[in-house]
Structure 1
Amino acid sequence: MIQRRYPLLGLFGGTFDPVHNGHIAIAQHCTIQYEMPSIQFIPNQNHHHKPDVQASASHRVNMLEIAIRKHKEWPINTMELSDSQPAYTVDSVKQLKHEFPQQALCFILSIEAFNGFNTWKNYREIIDHCHLIILGRFSHTIKLHTWQKQLLSDYSIDHPHELKNSMRGKILLDPYHPPAITSTDIRNNLHTNKPTIDINPAVRDYINTHDLYR
């Protein structure tokens, strides 16, 4: 009997404040590595996990549009910006699973984000609706928390192709190390008029035009 294989839909959330080349590298890696037909960029509100968001939602979306306009396979989903109430990942993946019932949703996050995953609303329930792809290597000097060990014991898989075998409920540790670029460093460089090479030149022009991060 031939096992059914589900197409993957990547979900890439973040404040994108501003979007930078590291974000683009992650999306390119996942598109190729996992043969993802599409990755949705999901800009957050002024996120409760990152309270230092500086640019408005409209500016952040505009910068995203500029940065990924050549990639029609990377649409921007503004679902988390449409409500004044706090948006939570668990609610977003529930809604997206309803909208894309025949695709296996893959939520992409970094090792750093995974270290705080237990602080997310109903974090275990998130895996009931999607897979997790965690980018980066666990350092041998970092001790895993009990909740992380339990999650990995329950849901971890070894091979990327296993993601397509089910609609949800798998965690894949991907040793890919994204470029060491942070939006915080870029904002600091812009604020102090230091060279900023890790963003799309058109995004940098937009930032200068609208006098952002000054």
Structure 2
Amino acid sequence: MSSAPRIGLFGGSFDPPHVAHIALARTALEHLRLDELHWIPAGQPWQKARQLASGTHRAAMVQAAACGEPRFVLDRSELDRPGPSYTIDTVRALQAERPEAEWFLVIGADQYLRLSSWRQWQELLLRVTLAVAGRDTAPPTLPPHDVSALPHRMERLPMAPIDASSTAIRAHLAAGRPAAELEPTILTAEVARYIDRHGLYRSPPTPEPARS
């Protein structure tokens, strides 16, 4: 009898996706022995106040970042669902489609520390194994007291520090500098080309392209 598929969920605004996102995704694939890793661009992230690039652009950039790895899956669950994007809603829907799978939620250490602010986080702990990224030389991240009080499954994903952030990338581009200057250490060539081709993160914001 075959074992249950192991599926990772990797959510975020991906505005834009950069090399640290890719490194974490690849670490999760190998460390957790995943059959699939779903990249899930947020539709309406309720904890972010700023305006994001359109879902169409962010999905296209994730597709560009994930190219070449067949276990990476672009998942439009939150982009196609109206209303605020809550992880628990996404997990419920995906688990209903594939109840036989074993599920892992890939998050950063900062998200782990804020987990008790997430919608219905107690149910989330029952449904998934948390895969928490942390620097490979740092001590394990300890959960906040209310999270540690509940039994939950957690795997640590050892990561070397990577100096890349979406905020710094957007600032670079808002200053009128090309994305190509950031490859390959910050952006992949595919993502950089997409950003420059569409003029993303300039002022004024680039309109969303027509959906085919």
Same fold per superposition (TM over 0.5): yes
Is the contact between residue 30 and residue 36 of structure 1 (CA under 8 Å) also seen in structure 2?
Answer: yes
Match in the other structure for 1:166: none
Residues 178/76 of structure 1: CA separation in 2 closer, same or farther (3 Å cut): farther
Is the contact between residue 109 and residue 132 of structure 1 (CA under 8 Å) also seen in structure 2?
Answer: yes
State the alpha-carbon separation in 2 of the partners of residues 33 and 139 from structure 1: 17
State the alpha-carbon separation in 2 of the partners of residues 107 and 54 from structure 1: 23
Q: Which segments of structure 1 move beyond 6 Å, counting only runs of 4 or more?
A: none
Match in the other structure for 2:47: 49
Match in the other structure for 2:209: none
Please report how far the alpha carbon of residue 124 of structure 1 lies from its aligned counterpart in structure 2 after TM superposition.
Answer: 1.0
Deviation digits for residues 166-210 of structure 1 (CA, Å, limit 9, x no counterpart): xxxx12233334523211111111212454231111211111111
Is the contact between residue 131 and residue 171 of structure 1 (CA under 8 Å) also seen in structure 2?
Answer: yes
Residues 202/143 of structure 1: CA separation in 2 closer, same or farther (3 Å cut): closer
Residues 86/98 of structure 1: CA separation in 2 closer, same or farther (3 Å cut): same
Match in the other structure for 2:93: 95
Alignment of 1:100-111 (within 5 A): 100-111=98-109
> Are residues 1:15 and 2:13 paired?
yes
Deviation digits for residues 25-49 of structure 1 (CA, Å, limit 9, x no counterpart): 1111111112111101111013112
Given candidates 189, 192, 198, the residue that maps to 2:172 is 189
> Are residues 1:148 and 2:147 paired?
yes
Please report how far the alpha carbon of residue 87 of structure 1 lies from its aligned counterpart in structure 2 after TM superposition.
Answer: 2.1
Match in the other structure for 1:159: none
State the alpha-carbon separation in 2 of the partners of residues 13 and 178 from structure 1: 20
Is the contact between residue 135 and residue 178 of structure 1 (CA under 8 Å) also seen in structure 2?
Answer: no
Please report how far the alpha carbon of residue 53 of structure 1 lies from its aligned counterpart in structure 2 after TM superposition.
Answer: 4.2
State the alpha-carbon separation in 2 of the partners of residues 145 and 65 from structure 1: 34
State the alpha-carbon separation in 2 of the partners of residues 25 and 211 from structure 1: 25
Match in the other structure for 1:207: 195
The residue type equivalent to 1:209 in the other structure is: R
Deviation digits for residues 55-81 of structure 1 (CA, Å, limit 9, x no counterpart): 100000111111112122111110111
State the alpha-carbon separation in 2 of the partners of residues 53 and 74 from structure 1: 26
Give the root-mean-square deviation of aligned CA atoms.
2.2
SS in 2 for 1:71: coil
SS in 2 for 1:190: helix
State the alpha-carbon separation in 2 of the partners of residues 84 and 51 from structure 1: 17
Match in the other structure for 1:33: 31
Give the total of aligned pairs. Answer: 194
The residue type equivalent to 2:168 in the other structure is: D
Is the contact between residue 9 and residue 37 of structure 2 (CA under 8 Å) also seen in structure 1?
Answer: yes
Is the contact between residue 46 and residue 53 of structure 1 (CA under 8 Å) also seen in structure 2?
Answer: no
Is the contact between residue 112 and residue 143 of structure 2 (CA under 8 Å) also seen in structure 1?
Answer: no
Please report how far the alpha carbon of residue 96 of structure 1 lies from its aligned counterpart in structure 2 after TM superposition.
Answer: 1.1
State the alpha-carbon separation in 1 of the partners of residues 112 and 4 from structure 2: 25
Is the contact between residue 15 and residue 53 of structure 2 (CA under 8 Å) also seen in structure 1?
Answer: yes
State the alpha-carbon separation in 2 of the partners of residues 178 and 48 from structure 1: 27
The residue type equivalent to 2:188 in the other structure is: N
The residue type equivalent to 1:187 in the other structure is: R
> Are residues 1:176 and 2:159 paired?
yes
SS in 2 for 1:75: strand
Deviation digits for residues 81-100 of structure 1 (CA, Å, limit 9, x no counterpart): 11321121111111111111
Identical pairs, percent: 27
